[in-house]
Amino acid sequence: MPFDWPVRVYIEDTDAGGIVYYANYFRFLERARTEWLRTLNCSQEALRQQDVLFVVREVQAKYRVPARLDDELRVSVAVKSSRKVSLELEQSVWRQEECLLTATIQIACMNHAGRPQAIPVELLHAMTA
């Protein structure tokens, strides 16, 4: 079952026409992934202290319908596949029952030196449960 996180569109998210600037969708996706980790009892800071970092390797996004100023959105996160040091996530942005954006996100797990790092086993089990 996907994780959903609510997002409100503020003026800072939009262009002069009141439409969400395309790059700001990536901020919405990132926030949802961070909050998803929190629901798994894992914070980015706790991971960082364990020398575990998640970095985006690749994003494929399809913009369907624009979000606008003051829209109430929800951003979903679901694990499509997992490996020892990486995840493939499916994310989407919704306004009520209308899908505005779909994205496939490739996430790599690394240490501070930039070397591949295994995702902690307990966290990987929680992510894929």
- Active site (catalytic) residues: 15
Q: Are 24 and 68 in contact (CB under 8 A)?
A: no
Please give, one letter per residue, the 3-state secondary structure of the chain: CCEEEEEECCHHHECCCCEECCCHHHHHHHHHHHHHHHHCCCCHHHHHHCCCEEEEEEEEEEECCCCECCCEEEEEEEEEEECCCEEEEEEEEEECCEEEEEEEEEEEEECCCCCECCCCHHHHHHHHC
